[in-house]
Structure 1
Amino acid sequence: MSRVAFYAPLKAIDHPVPSGERTMARLLLLALAVAGFAPEVASTLRTRDPDGSRHPALRAASLAEAERLIAAYRADPPALWFTYHVYYKAPDWIGPAVSRALGIPYVVAEGSRAPRRASGPHALGHVGAEAALDAADLILVMNRRDRPALEAARPGPQVLADLPPFLDPTEWPLAGAERTPGPLRLLAVAMMREGDKLASYRLLAEALMQLGNRPWTLDVAGDGPAADEVAALLAPFGDRVRRHGAVDATGLSALYGAADLLVWPAVNEAYGMALLEAQAHGCPVAAGGYGGVADVVQDGVTGRVTPPGDAAALAAAINDLAAAPDRLAAMRIAALAFARTERGLDGAAARLRAALAPLLGERA
C-alpha cells in the first residue's frame, strides 16, 4: 500500500475551529484511504496569513519544517506528497521542497492562481503559491472557477484532473425526520465572522425582506465573532427566525432533515459544504452562484443557483419553489440521490485512484 504524505496549509485536520476547509481536509484523508493508499499527516504547520504580514516568518518556519521532514523521510520516503488547498494566503513551501529532495511526485488538490496578488502585501505568499502550483505533477481541480487560470499557466507535463467536492454519506445517517405542514421552513448554516460570511448574512436579510406575504420561518445554525451583527440583521423578522448557535453533527442532521430549503447567498464561497450536506438529507438549496457553487448544486434539478450578489433573484427563487410544492418534492428526491451517489465518498475515491495511480506506475 503506497504511503501518501498529506498536508493542509490553510487549516489542519485537528484545528479546533470547525469549517468546510477542515471538513474537506478530513474527507480527502478518508478518500485516499478508501482509494487504497496509506495517508499520513506530514505536518500541521499553518501558513494562513490574512494580511500578508507573517509570510516571511511562515516561509522560514516552513523551510525548517521541510528540512526536518527530508531528514526523517530519507530512509523510508512516502510514495508521493499530497497538499490540500494552495493559494496566496496559504502557500505551500514544504511540499515542493520535500518532494524535490526525495524525488517523489507532488500533488495539489484545490490550487488557485491569483495574478493580481503579484504585488502588494501578499506578494511573497503569491510567489510561494505560484511556485508550488508550478511544481505540481498533478492538480486536482475542485472549484471550476480555478480552472481557467490553472490552464493558462500550466507547465507542459502537468496534469489537471477534476475532483468535485464530495461527502461521506455514512457521516450523515438519515434519521427519517418528517417535514411538518405549515410555513415554508428555511435553513441557513454558516459561521458568523466578518468578511464574506457577514456579507452573505446581509444579502440573506435583504432577500427575506423581499419574500412578501408568504409565511416562512428560518432556522440559523452557526456562531462566531460576528454573531451580534447577524442577530441585528435578522432582528426585524422577530420570532420567524430561530438562532441555534453552534450545532453538532447530530443537531445539524436534524435541522437539514426538517427543512424545506437551505438558503445561502454564498458570497465568495469556494463551493460550500453545507450546500452538499443539506442535499444529502433531501433538502434542496437556493444559493448565490459564486465560485464552485454550481459544482455542488444542480440548478433546476437539486435546487436553484441564482446570480451572485442578487438578493432579489434569491428571493424570487425561494418564492418560485414555495409556490410549486410538486417541483420542490422532486428536487428533494434528486438532491438526495445526487449528494449520496454522484458526490459520495466512493466516487471521489475512484477519481483519486485514477488520477494518482499513473504517478506511481500503478494500475488505476
Structure 2
Amino acid sequence: MRIAFYAPLKSPDHPVPSGDRQMARMLIEALRLCGHEPQIASTLRAFSREASDAAYSHLLREADEEIARLRRMWAEEGPPDAWFCYHPYYKAPDLIGPALAAEFSIPYVTAESSYSSRRNEGARKLAQDAVGDGARQAAVNICFTERDRKGLEAAIPDGRYAMLAPFIDVRRFQGTPKAKSSDARLIAVAMMRPGDKMDSYQMLAAALRLVVDIPWTLTIVGDGPSRAEVQEAFAGLPARRLDWVGEHAPETVANLLFGSDLYVWPGCGEAYGLSYLEAQAAGLPVVAQATAGVPEVVRNGETGALTAAGDVDAFAEAIRRLLGDAALRAELGNRARRFVLEERSLTAAAERLQVIFNAFARRSG
C-alpha cells in the first residue's frame, strides 16, 4: 500500500530530536518492513502551545492550503491507499487527513491519538473536536497504551481500536553486552525542558540526596532550554558524582547505556518513554514511577522497580536496594534485555502492524 504519513505534532524531518520524532521515524520504518510505501504527506506543524481562536483560525487556513495542494497532486498522480496520522491530540490535531481521506475514499488511520475531556473549552475544544471526529472516522485507531485506549473509548465508544505496544529499533543493542561493573553507575537520558521533564529532574535530584551516603555516580545525557534550571536542581550534590555529558547521537547513547548499571528516571507525565526501552535493551534495570504510561514499558519486579507517583522516599529506597544488590541488578537487567529484544523490537512491531492493517485498513475497490 502507498501510505500518506503525517505527524501534526512534529514531522519526522523536524530538526529537533524528541521521542515523538523518533517514534514517527520508527513507524515509517515499520510500515516499510511490512512492505508498504509510506511517504511524508505534509510537514505542516499543527502544534499550538497556547490556545487562541486567532491561532486556530490561522492553522485552519494553513491546513486548507495543504489540502488544496495535495488534492491537486493526487488528481494528477492518483491518491495513496491510506492516510496514516501519528499522534493527533488537542495541541496538534490532524486538520488535513480526514477531509482528504473522505474525499478520495481511502482509509484514515491514527496512531497514538489521545482525548482528554478536561480540554473541552475555548479553542482547545475546537482542536479536540477535530481529534474526536478523526478518531470516529478512522478505520482503526492504533493505541500504544491502555490509558490512551480507555480515554478514546470513553469519549468515542463507537470507534475502532487496536493495540500496538511501544517499540524501538534494537539494532544498536545487538551483540553481547559489556560485563557490568560493581561501581554503581547510574544514568538518565532526557531533554532539558520545562514541564514534566523538569519535574522528573527535580524529583531525581531530591531522591539522590537521600542516598548520598552510598557510592554512585550519575551520567546525565541531554540538553535543552532548561539546562541551567536542571543544574540548579542538582546543586548541593557532590560535583564528582555528576557527569554532565550533554546531548549525544543515538549510537553514542547506546554505548553510554551499555557502560552503566542502573537507569533512573522518575517519568513524570511520560506517555510511555522510549528511553526506558533503550535502557532495558542495553541490559539495565530501571527505577521509575508507576505513573502515566510507564508501566507499559517497564515491568515492575521483573525488569525494574516502579514506585508510587510522587513518593521521593520510595524512589530513593528503590535506588538504594538495587545499588546494594548486584545479583538482583543482573537478574532484572537480563530479563529487561530479553523483554525488549524479543517483544518490543521494530520487527515485532511490523508484524503486529501488518495484522492490524489486514484487519482494518485494506482499501476496498
Q: Quickly name the TM-score band, shorter chain normalised.
A: over 0.9
- Equivalent pairs counted in the alignment come to 359
Partner of 1:93: 95
Amino acid paired to 1:9: P
Deviation at 1:128, TM superposition (A): 2.0
Amino acid paired to 1:278: A
CA distance in 1, matches of 2:123, 2:270: 23
CA distance in 2, matches of 1:124, 1:175: 51
In structure 2, the CA distance between the partners of 1:171 and 1:62, relative to structure 1 (3 Å rule), is farther
Deviation at 1:199, TM superposition (A): 0.9
Q: Contact 1:90–1:125 (CA<8 Å) still a contact in 2? A: yes
Post-superposition Cα deviations, 1:155-175, rounded to whole Å, max 9, x if no partner, equal 53x321111110111144447
CA distance in 2, matches of 1:124, 1:278: 39
Post-superposition Cα deviations, 1:255-280, rounded to whole Å, max 9, x if no partner, equal 10011111111111101111111111
Post-superposition Cα deviations, 1:14-39, rounded to whole Å, max 9, x if no partner, equal 11111111000000000001112111
CA distance in 2, matches of 1:48, 1:255: 32
TM-score, normalised relative to structure 2: 0.94
Partner of 1:141: 143
CA distance in 1, matches of 2:336, 2:261: 12
TM-score, normalised relative to structure 1: 0.95
2:114 to 86, 93, 112: 112
Q: Which blocks of at least 5 consecutive residues in structure 2 are unaligned?
A: none
CA distance in 1, matches of 2:309, 2:36: 39
Identity %: 42
CA distance in 2, matches of 1:202, 1:175: 34
Partner of 2:224: 224
Post-superposition Cα deviations, 1:230-274, rounded to whole Å, max 9, x if no partner, equal 111112112101100111123211210011111111111101111
Partner of 1:177: 178
Local SS of the residue matching 1:122: helix
Partner of 1:14: 13
CA distance in 2, matches of 1:121, 1:71: 30
Partner of 2:168: 167
CA distance in 2, matches of 1:117, 1:232: 33
Partner of 1:196: 196
CA distance in 1, matches of 2:195, 2:176: 35
1:59 aligns with 2:65: no
Partner of 1:33: 32
Post-superposition Cα deviations, 1:52-87, rounded to whole Å, max 9, x if no partner, equal 232221122112211221221135111111000011
Q: Contact 2:192–2:230 (CA<8 Å) still a contact in 1? A: yes
Partner of 1:79: 81
Q: Contact 1:263–1:287 (CA<8 Å) still a contact in 2? A: yes
2:134 to 132, 135, 159: 132
Q: Contact 2:290–2:307 (CA<8 Å) still a contact in 1? A: yes
Amino acid paired to 2:129: V
CA distance in 1, matches of 2:240, 2:136: 53
Amino acid paired to 1:217: T
Comparing 43-52 and 323-332, the one that deviates more: 323-332
CA distance in 2, matches of 1:198, 1:273: 17
CA distance in 2, matches of 1:177, 1:251: 15
In structure 2, the CA distance between the partners of 1:137 and 1:155, relative to structure 1 (3 Å rule), is farther
Amino acid paired to 1:67: A
Deviation at 1:302, TM superposition (A): 0.8
4+ aligned runs moved over 3 Å, structure 1? 171-178, 359-362
CA distance in 2, matches of 1:242, 1:212: 15
Amino acid paired to 1:24: M
Partner of 1:206: 206
Q: Contact 1:175–1:254 (CA<8 Å) still a contact in 2? A: no
CA distance in 2, matches of 1:187, 1:345: 24
Post-superposition Cα deviations, 1:298-356, rounded to whole Å, max 9, x if no partner, equal 11111112122221121111112122221111111111111111000111001110111
Local SS of the residue matching 1:318: helix
Post-superposition Cα deviations, 1:113-162, rounded to whole Å, max 9, x if no partner, equal 11111114522222222222222120111122212221123353x32111
Partner of 1:123: 125
Aligned 1:252-291 pairs, distance under 5 A: 252-291=253-292
CA distance in 2, matches of 1:124, 1:56: 10
Q: Contact 1:268–1:290 (CA<8 Å) still a contact in 2? A: yes
Q: Contact 2:172–2:254 (CA<8 Å) still a contact in 1? A: no
Aligned 1:287-306 pairs, distance under 5 A: 287-306=288-307
Partner of 1:233: 233
Q: Contact 1:269–1:293 (CA<8 Å) still a contact in 2? A: yes
Q: Which blocks of at least 5 consecutive residues in structure 1 are unaligned?
A: none
Deviation at 1:9, TM superposition (A): 0.5
Amino acid paired to 1:17: V
